[in-house]
Amino acid sequence: MKKITKQYKVSEDQTALAMGSGDLDVLATPALVAMMENCAKILLAPELSSVQTSVGYKMDLKHLVPTAVGSTVKVDAEILEVDGKKISYSIKAFDDDQVIGEAVHQRVIVETAAFLKKLK
């Protein structure tokens, strides 16, 4: 299946302390989730029409070890399965050669205009 690797630099505003998800100046779990979702979204984007986008649906994540500000996080995303409009991914994140996070993620392909009509 299709794969992609992206790199992200951990910034001060992505720490658990800054994001409010914890008390330490290390990569916040919500920031790791965003990196992983971004990588998955980019991998799928070339397959979508100009009126489509994909939205995150589900994430089963293990955030395994802390990562310091200034570190480079490498994220590998691979499409595991396509079931109609539901796409399943395996995603791993690394700091150097150490795995810092693993996830199974699902995205759903939607028509942008129809999706936005659901806003109230």
* Active site (annotated) includes residue 111: no
Among 63, 78, 102, 112, the active-site one is 63
CATH of the domain at 50: 3.10.129.10
Q: What is the tally of structural domains in the chain? A: 1
Strands 72-83 and 86-95: antiparallel
* Distance (Å, whole) CA 25 – CA 13: 9
Q: In this structure, are residues 71 and 7 in contact, taking their beta carbons and an 8 Å threshold?
A: no
Domain ranges, residue 102: 3-116
* Active site (annotated) includes residue 102: no
Q: What is the DSSP letter of 29?
A: H
Q: What is the DSSP letter of 28?
A: -
Please write the tens of the pLDDT for every residue from 60-111. Answer: 999 999 999 999 999 999 999 999 999 999 999 999 989 999 999 999 999 9
Q: Which residues participate in the annotated binding site?
A: 56, 107
Q: Which residues participate in the annotated binding site for CoA?
A: 56
Among 15, 37, 67, 105, the active-site one is 37
* Active site (annotated) includes residue 63: yes
Report pLDDT for 120.
80
